[in-house]
Amino acid sequence: MDNDALRTALLRTVWAEVDLDAVAHNVRRIIEFTGPNVRLYAALKGDGYGHGSVEVARAVVDAGGHGLAFANLYECIQVREAGVTAPILLYAGTPAYLAETMVRYRITPTVTDLDAATELSQRVPDGFGVFFKVDAGLDRAGVYAEDALPALQAIARLPNIRLEGVYTHLHSGSGSDEYVRWQFARFAGFLRQLDDSGLDVPIRLAASSPFIAMHPEMHLNAIDPGQLVLGIPVGKEAEGILDLRPAIQAVKTTIVQIREPKERGRFAEEAMFDASHAKRFGLLPLGWGDGLHAGYGNGGPALVRGRRTTVLGPVHYEHSRVDLTLCPEARVGDEVVLLGRQGTERITIDEVARRCGIHRPQVAGTLSKYMPVVYFRCGRPCAVVAPCRASLPGFAD
């Protein structure tokens, strides 16, 4: 794909760049670390943390990932309709009346209580696979570990339901190792009860991204990393052990107008933008509506013509400003990098997260669906996913 074709496909002069080779590398490294007998379900909730669920899902499966996991049915359907056939786990929260859709798209839902499981069993064909969630301490969806076996046994007696797996979601909290081990011990106690009961539930899953590198005993026979797959390390230990590569390489835009602000003679106190901070600025066609965090407006980093400069506040819904005072040669159409590399300079995910006061996954995770994504393989663009909203089937006037 040449530059002219890429510009035409983008439709906007705002885009993110994602390296699918990095995704594949991360998946292979995690599988090498956990071993071939541990199934990897890539947690790609939130549109793959803003990286785009479909293209990332393909890269995960091609690299050896066993399956995928999502938090809502929309994304499951999107990935299925894109031709991905790998197993898909749907996390807890989808009501049983959507059973027909889950059956049609071969989605494995999570059950957490007998009433919902009973309704589901009445709506699905014989042998329909489900996962059961245990709450080991997060106090979110699931059945408390101490009460889980009787609930699971009751669900197992329902017609049409096949128990395919059990899982929990551990809470990292403040990072206390004792706290994490207390949660896992509760889940492990349930698993011992499950084995003693003779009930066959083949897949056991507990470890997500924060626990894979430092707690191999929690791998069991399945894991569901999300951040690690996308090269977002959770702790320095994971970064060193797994040799991850960030999937998101850049967020870029271009200058659409250059201004030399004038001091206001009147109503200076009403101005949203303090013109005294810059003698020259460039207008950028992206803002918080695209996912550019408001924290960028407090001197967030930017690169223009290989030089470091800053974003001038505030960030608006669809526009922002970049300081060009020390870059007099900048022109309309010049590329501006808000994340990534330009020349010898680089803005990292860590730097952006610190500047904006957000977690590293939120840097890409807050990007809007209006942000086109350019995907790369072998250092070259291979696909462009443009934003769109399609009408949902089955609903019309």
221 shares a domain with 266: no
Residue 282 lies in a domain: yes
pLDDT score at 110: 98
Which of 232, 260, 294 is the C-terminal boundary of a domain? 232
For residues 316 and 276, is the Cβ–Cβ distance under 8 A?
A: no
**CATH value at residue 158:** 3.20.20.10
Quick: pLDDT tens for 217-259: 999 999 999 999 999 877 665 667 888 999 999 999 999 999 9
Mean pLDDT, range 308-316, rounded to an integer:
92
- HEC string of the chain equals CCHHHHHHHHCCCEEEEEEHHHHHHHHHHHHHHHCCCCEEEEECHHHHHCCCHHHHHHHHHHCCCCEEEECCHHHHHHHHHCCCCCCEEECCCCCHHHHHHHHHCCCECEECCHHHHHHHHCCCCCCEEEEEEEECCCCCCCEEHHHHHHHHHHHHCCCCEEEEEEEECCCCCCCCHHHHHHHHHHHHHHHHHHHHHCCCCCEEEEECHHHHCCCHHHCCCEECCCCCCCCCCCCHHHHHHHCCCCCEEEEEEECCEEECCCCCCCCHHHCCCCHHHCCCEEEECCCHHHCCCHHHHEEEEEEECCEEEEEECCCCCCCEEEECCCCCCCCCCCEEEEEEEECCEEECHHHHHHHHCCCHHHHHHCCCCCCCEEEEECCEEEEEECCCCCCCCCCCC
Task: State whether 196 and 317 are in the same domain.
Answer: no
Q: What is the pLDDT of residue 389?
A: 53
Q: For residue 131, is it within any domain?
A: yes
pTM for the structure as a whole? 0.92
Categorise residue 198: left if φ over 0, alpha if ψ from -120 to 50, beta otherwise.
left
pLDDT at residue 397 in the model: 44
In a domain, 51, yes or no: yes
pLDDT score at 236: 62
The verdict on 27 and 146 lying in the same domain is: yes
Q: Quick one: average pLDDT of 371-385?
A: 91
**pLDDT at residue 64 is higher than 60:** yes
Q: Is the pLDDT of residue 174 over 80?
A: no
Res 239: pLDDT: 64
In a domain, 73, yes or no: yes
Judge whether 347 lies within some domain: yes
Domain edge (last residue) among 186, 201, 232? 232
- At 302 the pLDDT is 97
Asked if residue 393 has pLDDT above 80, the reply is no
Does a structural domain hold residue 390?
no
Residue 284 amino acid letter: L
pLDDT tops 70 at residue 392: no
Last residue of a domain, one of 201, 232, 263: 232
Number of folded domains in the chain? 2
Identify whether residues 313 and 193 lie together within a single domain.
no
Q: Which residues contact 45 (CB under 8 A, 6 or more apart)?
A: 69, 70, 71, 72, 75, 91, 226
Looking at the fold, whether 208 and 292 belong to one and the same domain comes out as no
Are residue 33 and residue 158 in the same domain, yes or no? yes
pLDDT in tens, 19-37: 999 999 999 999 999 999 9
Indicate the angle between helix axes 148-156 and 114-121, nearest 10 degrees.
Answer: 10
Q: What is the CATH number of the domain that holds 317?
A: 2.40.37.10
Q: Is the dihedral of CA 171, 177, 182, 185 positive or negative?
A: positive
Q: How far apart are CA 336 and CA 203, in angstroms?
A: 47
Regarding whether 190 and 330 lie in a shared domain, the answer is: no
pLDDT at 390 over 60: no
Judged against a pLDDT cut of 90, whether residue 394 lies above it is answered with: no
Residue 181 and residue 263 share a domain: no
Q: What are phi and psi of 39, to 5 degrees?
A: -80, 135
Do the domain assignments include residue 97?
Answer: yes
Indicate whether 152 and 218 sit together in one domain.
yes
How confident is residue 2, by pLDDT bands cut at 50, 70 and 90? low
Say if residue 222 is in the same domain as residue 98.
Answer: yes
Domain housing 52:
20-232
Establish if 313 belongs to a structural domain: yes
Checking if the pLDDT of 267 tops 80, the result is no
193 and 267 part of one domain: no
- pLDDT of the residue at 322: 95
Residue 62 has pLDDT above 90, yes or no: yes
Report the percentage of the chain scoring pLDDT > 90.
72
Clarify whether residues 364 and 273 are in a common domain: yes
